[in-house]
């Protein structure tokens, strides 16, 4: 390929400072070094975690950076020693790596991987602790090891899932974050059983994917909780059977749910990132066995709290990252499930825009009607 080994200049949305509009810049993307993969990103969706870091509330947030972590593309070139993907492969970048060699990967207990986490948290690549992005010589930090709001990005080889080339990249880009997170929170982290009563706090993409996963797991009741009542109509299509708006009640929402479920729900999921709601989600669980899973990402400085008695009396508090899915192994499997129409993806896409329109896409995200907005990166 003509660009192999060369610096590529392409368009990318640069976050120069927290909360300031992203700027479409001509960015220089260096060739991949050993163990790295350069990807042409074709489609990238926006996730609320991008907005969270952009807001300045992420303790790991570094500026200037290129955000974006829910995307799909085609391998342009690979660095020395990369064996599992080659130019032309269709791929999904994975912010949660899977090296299959580290203590985490070998534990059989978690999908977290330790191999490149320190570098991705510092916005650089492992090989030389430097960035592959620059604008007129100024280095730009990577984000979550993916930086998909760029027409080309460089990622570690342990952070790339090779997928079926027949899969539509403008759709399966969503399998890079929100949809797997919700499904996996139910299937891998909580392991919801048939007949369970489930409460889902927050009916955005992640909460709706929780509802979809709970329906597939055979939950008998799926109670959706949101402060925006307009969310309920759409939520029914994803499996939500009942809706509760905390604003319609004087009592704390956990008490409302305990009263409606003969003592509490079997499983609850917090899909907002609000620590008060995290507490409510735990406390609406049934004494003795109810399990609550934290999915939402809360701002720097926020802390969860509850009476320890809630745990002493058998409730379980857990959290999940990428729904507990092993990224490189299981993202291709999720793509196959989508191709067989066993999981929804298209239904989460409410808007399609271009990279140049990225600031408008973030505005849309904060409006109630938007689930996922997919950017065409080369339109």
Ligand X SMILES: N[C@@H](CCC(=O)N[C@@H](CSC=O)C(=O)NCC(=O)O)C(=O)O
Ligand Y SMILES: NC(=O)C1=CN([C@@H]2O[C@H](COP(=O)(O)OP(=O)(O)OC[C@H]3O[C@@H](n4cnc5c(N)ncnc54)[C@H](O)[C@@H]3O)[C@@H](O)[C@H]2O)C=CC1
Cite the active site residues. 47-49, 69-70, 99, 102, 105, 113, 117, 177, 372
- Angstrom distance (rounded) from CA 93 to CA 70: 8
DSSP state of 15: B
Q: Of the ranges 123-131, 189-197, 235-243, 290-298, which one interacts with ligand Y (CB under 6 A)? A: 290-298
User: What, of ligand Y, ligand X, Zn ion, none, does residue 102 touch, CB below 5 to 8 Å by kind?
Assistant: Zn ion
Q: Which tokens belong to 49?
A: 């975690």
- CB 50 to ligand Y: min, Å: 9
Site for ligand X in 114-143 (CB under 6 A): 117
The yes or no reply on residue 68 touching ligand Y (CB under 6 A) is no
Please check whether residue 296 is in contact with residue 207, taking contact to mean a CB–CB distance below 8 angstroms.
no
Site membership for ligand X, residue 60 (CB under 6 A): yes
Cβ-contact 133, 155 below 8 angstroms: no
Minimum CB separation of residue 215 from ligand Y in Å reads: 17
Of residues 12 through 41, those in contact with ligand X by CB under 6 A are none
Q: Which does 201 bind (CB under 5 to 8 A by kind): Zn ion, ligand X, ligand Y, none?
A: ligand Y
Stretch that binds ligand X, among 9-17, 54-62, 326-334, 336-344 (CB under 6 A): 54-62
Scanning 284-347, the segments in alpha helix (DSSP H) are 308-312, 327-339
Question: Which of ligand Y, ligand X, Zn ion, none is residue 60 near (CB under 5 to 8 Å by kind)?
Answer: ligand X
22 binds, among ligand X, Zn ion, ligand Y, none (CB under 5 to 8 A by kind): none
Work out whether 113 is an interface residue with ligand Y (CB under 6 A): no
Supply the DSSP symbol for 258: H
Q: Quick one: which segment of 152-160, 164-172, 269-277, 326-334 binds ligand Y (CB under 6 A)?
A: 269-277
Q: Would you count residue 345 as binding ligand Y (CB under 6 A)?
A: no
Beta bridge partners of 19: none
Interaction between residue 54 and ligand X (CB under 6 A): no
Q: Residue 102: how many CB atoms within 10 A of its CB? A: 17
96 binds ligand X (CB under 6 A): yes
Q: Are 337 and 314 in contact (CB under 8 A)?
A: no
Q: How far is the CB of 297 from Zn ion (least distance, A)?
A: 8
Q: Does residue 273 interact with ligand Y by CB under 6 A?
A: yes
From 15, 22, 39, 47, residue interacting with ligand X (rule: CB under 6 A): 47
Q: Backbone phi, then psi, for 243, in 5-degree steps?
A: -130, 135
Beta-bridge mates of residue 199: 223, 268
Among 62, 99, 316, 321, binds ligand X (CB under 6 A): 321
In this structure, the dihedral spanned by the alpha carbons of residues 284, 288, 294 and 295, taken in order and rounded to 10 degrees, is -90
Please report, for residues 163, 164, 171, 253, 364, the alpha-carbon distance to residue 337 in angstroms, rounded to integers and kept in the order given: 12, 11, 13, 35, 29
Q: Least distance in Å: CB of 258 to ligand X? A: 29
State how far the Cα of 372 lies from the Cα of 48, in Å rounded to an integer.
10
Give the one residue of 125, 169, 185, 297 binding ligand X; rule: CB under 6 A: 297
> Which pair of structure tokens corresponds to residue 347?
């239904």
Number of residues that bind ligand Y (CB under 6 A): 31
From the list ligand Y, ligand X, Zn ion, none, which binds 203 (C-beta under 5 to 8 Å, kind-based)? Answer: ligand Y
Contact 335, 197 (CB under 8 A): no
Beta carbons within 8 Å of 168's beta carbon, 6+ residues apart = none
Residue 52 interacting with ligand Y (CB under 6 A): yes
311 is written with which tokens? Answer: 């745990």
Q: Three-state DSSP class for 61? A: coil
Nearest to 358 by CA among 33, 4, 35, 43: 43
Which range binds ligand Y by CB under 6 A, 86-94, 105-113, 225-233, 259-267? 225-233
Binding site for ligand X (CB under 6 A): 47, 49, 58-60, 96, 112, 117, 177, 297, 321-322
Please report, as ranges, the residues that interact with ligand Y according to CB under 6 A: 47-49, 52, 177-178, 181, 201-207, 225-228, 231, 246, 271-274, 277, 295-297, 320-322
């Amino acid at each position: 390929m003509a660009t192999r080994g060369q610096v590529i200049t392409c368009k990318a949305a640069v976050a120069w400072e927290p909360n300031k509009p992203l700027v479409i810049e001509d960015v220089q993307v260096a060739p991949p070094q050993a163990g790295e993969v350069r990807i042409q990103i074709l489609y990238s969706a926006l996730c609320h975690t991008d907005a969270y870091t952009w807001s300045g509330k992420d303790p790991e947030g570094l500026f200037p950076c290129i955000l974006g972590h829910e995307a799909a593309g085609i391998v342009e070139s690979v660095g020395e020693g990369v064996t599992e993907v080659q130019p032309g492969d269709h791929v999904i970048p994975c912010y949660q790596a899977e090296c299959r060699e580290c203590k985490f990967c070998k534990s059989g207990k978690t999908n977290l991987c330790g191999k490149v986490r320190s570098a991705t948290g510092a916005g650089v690549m492992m090989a030389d602790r430097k960035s592959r992005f620059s604008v007129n010589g100024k280095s730009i930090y990577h984000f979550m090891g993916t930086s998909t709001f760029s027409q080309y990005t460089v990622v570690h080889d342990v952070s790339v899932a090779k997928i079926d080339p027949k899969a539509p990249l403008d759709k399966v880009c969503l399998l890079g974050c929100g949809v797997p997170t919700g499904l996996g929170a139910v299937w891998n982290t909580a392991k919801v059983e048939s007949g369970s009563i489930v409460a889902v706090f927050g009916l955005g993409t992640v909460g709706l994917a929780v509802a979809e996963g709970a329906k597939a797991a055979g939950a008998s009741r799926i109670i959706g909780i949101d402060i925006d009542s307009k969310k309920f109509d759409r939520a029914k299509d994803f499996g939500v059977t009942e809706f509760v708006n905390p604003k319609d009640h004087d009592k704390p929402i956990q008490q409302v749910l305990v009263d409606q479920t003969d003592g509490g729900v079997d499983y609850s999921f917090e899909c907002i990132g609000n620590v008060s709601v995290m507490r409510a989600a735990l406390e609406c669980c049934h004494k003795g066995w109810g399990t609550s899973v934290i999915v939402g990402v809360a701002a720097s400085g926020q802390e969860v709290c509850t009476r320890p008695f809630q745990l002493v009396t058998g409730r379980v508090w857990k959290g999940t990252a990428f729904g507990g899915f092993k990224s490189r192994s299981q993202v291709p499997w999720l793509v196959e499930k989508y191709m067989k129409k066993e999981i929804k993806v298209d239904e989460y896409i409410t808007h399609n825009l271009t990279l140049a329109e990225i600031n408008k896409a973030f505005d849309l995200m904060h409006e109630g009607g938007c689930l996922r907005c997919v950017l065409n990166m080369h339109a």
